[in-house]
Amino acid sequence: MRFVVRLSAVSAVCAGVGIVGAPVAGAADTQPPTAPSSVRVLAVKPDTVTIAFTGSTDDVGLKWYVARVEGVRQQATTSPSGTEIGGLKSDTTYSLTVVAVDRAGNVSAPSAPVTATTAKWTPPSNLNLMSGSGGNVSLAWNAPSNMRDPYRYLVYDGRSGEAMARSSAVTMQRLAPGTHVFTVRGMHSSGDLSPASNPVTVTVAPRGSDRVAPSAPQNVLVREDLDVYEFVTTWDPSTDNVDSAPAYDLLEAFGGDLFTIRYAVVGTSYRGRFASAVRAVDQAGNRSAATPSTLVW
């Protein structure tokens, strides 16, 4: 007995004519998913917003969703029931939408927008004068209650930047005679600043009759020591009418202002953090203008 297989017939069936549900070879998915719906805000923090939404449907299969914060950022998610979007500024209103993406990369129309306003950071609290003598003033405070482990603290004298601190205390040196009103703001790792703390007023007594500031340091240069990954700042010495060798404050830029990162440096060089500027200070607390640094490669 002989069996004969007709290949032409088999080929016709496999071409998709006689097999239910088999895709036609070479066909591409061009149908986007339906738009997500019912986007709602579940929670807000100073730097995050948590949203939920009703998911989409697709003829082939969904890959993920993308939550978009208009003009700021977008974040992929596979969780319609709760997605936290970070990297936001405090006390700011944002418009959020969500799109769906299928396995072929087709993107749905956006959901209807929803607005969310992030919470405010709380200010540092209980700013206190710990000690003050001869132009040296020490302050301490409590961290903002909703800013875990602030990146930096910025101390202001009135509206001007004065000092940067890594922890919740600082000692400022060689302050000018007169009345100073200090406040502190917490700085988040994103650069976002908390509101100012309670003010503390400190009166610094005169130290002699000298009221003439030293000359500003010149030729302030910063080089990077690649062997130890440190910056080296150098400058030409300043002159003063009383002090033969004034000290120097190194300043760094934060939040649009300059803050002292190292007080009363002796000599004309400093190894460590990057210095945005250097100023000269004499024993009486007279301060020169700050000279911006130049980075030398």
- Domains of the chain by residue range: 31-117, 125-204, 218-296
Amino acid identity of residue 272, one-letter, is: G
Q: Is the pLDDT of residue 15 over 80?
A: no
Name the band, by pLDDT with cuts 50, 70 and 90, for residue 27.
Answer: low
For the domain bounded by 218-296, which CATH number is listed? 2.60.40.10
Q: Is the pLDDT of residue 112 over 80?
A: yes
Neighbours of 102 (CB within 10 A): 21
What is the per-residue pLDDT for 234?
97
**pLDDT tens-digit readout, 190-239:** 899 999 999 999 999 999 999 999 999 999 999 998 887 899 999 999 99
Q: Is the pLDDT of residue 21 over 60?
A: no
What is the per-residue pLDDT for 228?
78
* Between 72 and 145, the higher pLDDT residue: 145
What is the per-residue pLDDT for 297?
83
What is the per-residue pLDDT for 225?
86
Cα 53 from Cα 17, distance rounded (Å)? 40
Name the band, by pLDDT with cuts 50, 70 and 90, for residue 152.
Answer: very high
Domain 218-296 in the same topology as domain 125-204: yes
Name the band, by pLDDT with cuts 50, 70 and 90, for residue 149.
Answer: confident
Name the band, by pLDDT with cuts 50, 70 and 90, for residue 10.
Answer: very low
Cα 102 from Cα 29, distance rounded (Å)? 9
**The CA-based dihedral angle spanning residues 123, 127, 170, 47, taken in that order and rounded to the nearest 10 degrees:** -10
In CATH terms, the fold of domain 125-204 is: Immunoglobulin-like (2.60.40)
Cα 123 from Cα 233, distance rounded (Å)? 34
Query: Going by CATH, does the domain composed of 31-117 fall within 2.60.40.10?
Result: yes
